[in-house]
Structure 1
Amino acid sequence: MKIFNVCIRTFFLPCLVCLGVAFSPLVWAETEQATIEENLPQGWRTGYETEPVFGSKMFWVEAGRKNSETIVLIHGLGQNGWRDWRKVMPLLAQEYRVVAFDLPGFGRSEVPTGKYSPSNYAVAVHSVLHQAGIKQFHLVGHSMGGAVALRLATRYPTSVERLVLISAAGILERSTFAGHSTALPLEAGMLSYFNALPKEVQGGISGLVREIGGSILRWDALPDPTALLSKSDTAWGTTLKGQPNMNAAFALVGEDYSGDLTTLDVPTLVLWGEQDPVAPLRTGYLLAGQIPDAELEIFPGMGHMPILYPDLVGPPITNFLQSKTSVSSSAGSEENHGDYQCSGQSGVQLSGHYQAIEINDCQNVFLQDVTANSLQVNNSKLVGRNVNLGNSAIGLQADNAEIELTNAHIQGDIAVSVNASQLDLAGVLIEGESEAVRAYQASEFVFSVSQMQTPDYQKNLHGVFTLGAPAQ
């Protein structure tokens, strides 16, 4: 069973990314190669530039006015490559110089050997832009391209004037990503590639994705066989040669942005489809909460591909790029609600300031923009977003609880005390005066871009851990 779990955790997740984002053909048809320039609008330009990371030729498309500010577009997984931007480029090109690439391994670019990671792609894109004399630019990335754009902005912040992240994939810890597949139905287009199969088979694939994806969240931390490949980009690339989607997907879910988001000094717009079945909306909240100068706009009813609707995504992008003011955060209500206790209820929603919050035998409790001295959760399920806990001996106490927190700061002499609980923490700072975490009976933690601190200890956290003694 352990071996099965290792294989699923390591190899199924990238397959799930490929299935959800782009399961398109791995080669261009000859007719498309021959006619792509003929099908472009008048004045659009194409060409190749050699990038230094893989030593390969990258295909680029340029539109708009050469003397205008430059927008750089980074695509997601799939052999569509730059063509994912085909509908939105004419709108952006009215006011800007727009440059889109086929990343190495995709579209018309060469398929080199190497690791197709956001970090490597970020260096490749930045180098090609620098070679072309484009020293500063606005950067827009979608799905995997959002992860690449984020990595480029964290590594070269002075080059990026403004950053737009659309349905960015691969930011949350990979087990949390898998768990998301249980929450929303798969987008219709995601299974369209299996139209030749009977509908009951398609439904079976969908159910398998959800069943396995949901269970991964509750598995113990396991060895990762790709760790050996990660020691060498050459070994990685050789093993996954000829499989660009798989190569990039493996690397995508392994990228760690811990310690990078809170220090990013680039104005950022985060755009997300409310019903995104690939990259959970929770990621959008995480990015908007962790990047200091960021704002989030959600498209109601939209899935993973808002970039196919230029009238939807175009206006917020251009408005953001034209705005020269920083994002301002609104202050919440200062009213203090005192102590609060929930007993045997379901669907409770809280916001505002409290002294102590105690949740006993309650289900589907939701905290939004909550500040409290302490939070105690017993035999309950709770989700929180933008939560600050502290000013007490124990900031968060969990006993036989399931807790999901996004953008939280937990303080205390003992910041977190847990017993037989499951905690899914994204963008959470755990700050203990004497102890960050005290665990009794074994409890499972999933950390995404989080941090743990004591006066003598500081560590970025991104992974799955079991803390505490096994049950007797």
Structure 2
Amino acid sequence: MKKLLLGLVLVLAVTTGTLYFSPNLLMASMRLVEQQMAGLSSRQIEVNGLSIHYYQGGPSIGETLLMIHGFGANRDNWLRFSRAFTSRYQVIALDLPGFGESDKPDARYDVATQTERLHAFIQALKIDKPHLIGNSMGGHIAALYAARYPQQLRSVALLDNAGVMSPQKSEMFSMIERGEPNPLVVRKAEDFDKLMKFVFVNPPPLPDSLKRHFAEQSMANQNHYDKIFSQLRDHYVPLEPELPKIQVPTLLLWGEQDRVLDVSSIEVMKPLLAKPSVVIMKDCGHAPMLERPEETAQHYQDFLDGRL
């Protein structure tokens, strides 16, 4: 029934011209269908004066999976991945302050500050010892949280996380050191295609109207993202001294062809962790939960079940 609903939305969009004339309406419809298929609903809470938007679904009694997106992203990154978990776990995926639909005040967005905001969010929702999972910048935040609050988690999963000086420098940081533009920030329309090819080995297909829509959204946030990226670098928190403080089981999952953060980071991280598990996904880029959601979900479930 849910697949039929998604098909009807797409057919309606094409036949009524919505795909071309109203990408906002199409996106809202598709997001609603994805939420329903994942068993998630959209919610909002005020924490320390900030409005934070998040998805929540699954049984309210039992263990909770808390999902943290990366730089320039939002909670939608976890929708398809979440489908595998809402029958068994409570699933929560938030828009970090500064991203998505959450508040974007003129404030600090470095990893240490966001980690404390995450702590306040967990306390506000009264989540008891969640499993944290984060991608990229979100993985950096998740790891720092696990180091600062080691008794308040069940596990932590780090997907292509930031925060480590990799033995092999990534293509992104090589570009930035040469003075080239940050490939994660869209400054003109054609940059969006470049971003997709940079982040994914096999970018998901998108209609041209949606590409234009996403490009326009990203360009509108250019200055905001530049500021946040500068703060992440100026107030950088290295994970190397923090990782030994993490006492819970830790999954390191990486796309082998990640051009943003090099897979060799695992060589640094694994010896520093008390209970590491490692998965390297071939022919996969920086966001495995988006590029191959079902396979990534299976790896994560194996980790949660203690099979890794």
TM-score (norm 2): 0.71
Letter in 1 for 2:305: Q
Which of 117, 127, 138 is the aligned partner of 2:110?
117
Q: Is the 8 A contact 1:180 1:277 kept in 2?
A: no
What does residue 143 of structure 2 align with? 150
Give distance in 2, aligned partners of 1:302 and 1:276. Answer: 7
Q: Secondary structure at the match of 1:109?
A: coil
Q: Is the 8 A contact 1:37 1:46 kept in 2?
A: no
Letter in 2 for 1:74: I
Letter in 2 for 1:321: L
Deviation at 1:33, TM superposition (A): 8.8
Q: Is the 8 A contact 2:45 2:53 kept in 1?
A: yes
Give distance in 2, aligned partners of 1:259 and 1:85. Answer: 29
Letter in 2 for 1:46: S
The answer to whether residue 155 in structure 2 is matched with residue 162 in structure 1 is yes
The 5 Å alignment of 1:257-268 reads: 257-268=239-250
What does residue 305 of structure 1 align with? 287
Change (3 A) 1:173 1:243: farther
What does residue 322 of structure 1 align with? 305
> Which structure would you say has the larger Rg?
1
Which of 37, 53, 72 is the aligned partner of 1:59?
53
RMSD between aligned alpha carbons? 3.3
Which of 288, 293, 300 is the aligned partner of 2:270?
288
What does residue 6 of structure 2 align with? none
Give distance in 1, aligned partners of 2:158 and 2:126. Answer: 24
Q: Is the 8 A contact 1:170 1:252 kept in 2?
A: no
What does residue 250 of structure 1 align with? 230
What does residue 36 of structure 2 align with? 41
Q: Secondary structure at the match of 2:162?
A: coil
Structure 1: runs of 5+ lacking an equivalent: 1-28, 183-188, 207-240, 328-472
Deviation at 1:106, TM superposition (A): 0.7
Q: Give percent identity, aligned residues only.
A: 25
Deviation at 1:178, TM superposition (A): 6.3
The answer to whether residue 252 in structure 2 is matched with residue 270 in structure 1 is yes
Q: Deviations over 1:340-367 (max 9, x none)?
A: xxxxxxxxxxxxxxxxxxxxxxxxxxxx
Q: Secondary structure at the match of 2:294?
A: helix
Give distance in 2, aligned partners of 1:154 and 1:191. Answer: 30
Q: Is the 8 A contact 2:167 2:265 kept in 1?
A: no
Q: Secondary structure at the match of 2:105?
A: coil
Letter in 2 for 1:311: E
The 5 Å alignment of 1:396-415 reads: none
What does residue 350 of structure 1 align with? none
Change (3 A) 1:47 1:113: same
Change (3 A) 1:242 1:127: farther
Give distance in 2, aligned partners of 1:286 and 1:195. Answer: 37
Q: Secondary structure at the match of 2:43?
A: strand
Give distance in 2, aligned partners of 1:144 and 1:99. Answer: 17
What does residue 106 of structure 1 align with? 99
Which of 69, 75, 92 is the aligned partner of 1:82?
75
Deviation at 1:141, TM superposition (A): 0.3
Q: Deviations over 1:153-211 (max 9, x none)?
A: 111111111010000023228995568647xxxxxx979986648x9xx7xxx9xxxxx
Deviation at 1:35, TM superposition (A): 5.3
Give distance in 1, aligned partners of 2:25 and 2:186. Answer: 23
Change (3 A) 1:190 1:103: closer
Letter in 2 for 1:41: Q
Which of 54, 60, 67 is the aligned partner of 1:73?
67
Change (3 A) 1:180 1:285: farther
Q: Secondary structure at the match of 1:66?
A: coil
Q: Secondary structure at the match of 1:57?
A: strand
Give distance in 1, aligned partners of 2:138 and 2:121. Answer: 16
Give distance in 1, aligned partners of 2:28 and 2:295. Answer: 32
Q: Is the 8 A contact 1:167 1:284 kept in 2?
A: no
Q: Deviations over 1:427-451 (max 9, x none)?
A: xxxxxxxxxxxxxxxxxxxxxxxxx
Deviation at 1:268, TM superposition (A): 0.2
Higher mean C-alpha deviation, range 145-154 or range 257-266: 257-266
Which of 128, 132, 135 is the aligned partner of 2:121?
128
What does residue 225 of structure 1 align with? none
Q: Is the 8 A contact 2:66 2:93 kept in 1?
A: yes
Letter in 2 for 1:319: D
Change (3 A) 1:300 1:38: closer
Which one has the bigger strand percentage?
1
Structure 2: runs of 5+ lacking an equivalent: 1-22, 176-182, 199-220
